[in-house]
Amino acid sequence: MSQIKPKTTRKRLSFMSTVLITGASKGIGRSCATLLHDRGHEVIGLARNPANGEFPGEFHCVDLLDRKALDSILKTLCASKPITGLVNNAGIVGAQPLSEINLETMDEVFQVNLGAATQCAQHCSSTMKQQGVGSIVNISSELVLGLPNRTAYTSSKAALISATRTWALELSRNNITVNAIAPGPVNTEFFTRNNPPGSSERKRKIDRIPMGRFAEPADIAKTVAFFLSEDARYITGQTLFVDGGSSLASSALF
């Protein structure tokens, strides 16, 4: 006699979920938007600058340094959209050696890299609680391990990893997962502009990567898609280094 399996009441993160992505106009954020759209998600993108070409979803220009403007658009979106996914991808660098750190610049880096991520998580987690399910993915960086002249960037990204663990503890009872991804060098337009092909700096960085190549934005986007999927519903509070093994190298990061 066949056994009748009991029905489960636990909600699942639908393939057709609505995902909010910051820094969505280019690079990793744009790749995430394209991949998630292609996989059936409804995508909402936020970025300071307009997206080039046709964006694969709904797009809004907002300066993440402007807390009031960001708060306003988040209130509007979360009141009208059943958001169950959030990708905190936006980030700025603010490179300065310790002796020359401008605290105003440092404040700006922290506002975009941690403050805006926190604002998005506050608003979106409230909506996720109403939906009974959700997933937050924070894009940190391999450079949390240290790099000269990056005090603001590395410390803000390290704080984002700490926040990931804290939010995971707070939200797990609401069926909301929170995880972080720490990419190594990614072959974006910004990276290529600062590390042009043929340059000694580019060679030095690729020589550190055991797999012998830089990540493509799609490599990070696929990891984001995994954390947003049903397959990752029992994973929370984790940081995954997606770096081709460069964080395992014995050589220093500089």
Instruction: Give me the CATH number covering residue 81.
Output: 3.40.50.720
Answer yes or no: is pLDDT of 119 > 60: yes
Quick check: 12 pLDDT over 80? no
Q: 120 lies in a domain?
A: yes
Q: Give the range of the structural domain holding residue 168, as residue numbers without chain letter.
A: 18-186+217-242
pLDDT score of 101: 86
Catalytic: 7? Answer: no
For CA atoms 96, 26, 31, 107, the dihedral sign is: positive
Torsion of CA 92, 116, 12, 30, to 10 degrees: -30
Does 204 reside within a domain? Answer: no
Active site residue 157: yes
| Cα–Cα distance, 10 to 74 (Å, whole number) | 27
In this structure, are residues 117 and 87 in contact, taking their beta carbons and an 8 Å threshold?
no
pLDDT in tens, 27-63: 999 999 999 999 999 999 999 999 989 999 999 999 9
Instruction: Look up residue 217 and give its amino acid.
Output: P
Whether 86 is covered by a domain: the verdict is yes
When divided into structural domains, the chain yields a total of 1
Among residues 157, 203, 205, 234, the one annotated as catalytic is 157
221 within some domain: yes
* Mean predicted lDDT score pLDDT of the chain: 91
Q: Is residue 108 part of a domain?
A: yes
- Give the pLDDT confidence of 123-154 residue by residue, as tens digits: 999 999 999 999 999 999 999 998 888 899 99
Contact status, residue 162 vs residue 221, Cβ threshold 8 Å: no
Asked if residue 196 is part of any domain, the answer here is: no
Given pLDDT bands bounded at 50, 70 and 90, which one contains residue 199?
Answer: very high
Span 77-89, mean pLDDT? 97
Model's pTM, two decimal places?
0.91
Is 238 inside a domain boundary?
A: yes
- Given 5, 11, 81, 153, which residue is catalytic? 153
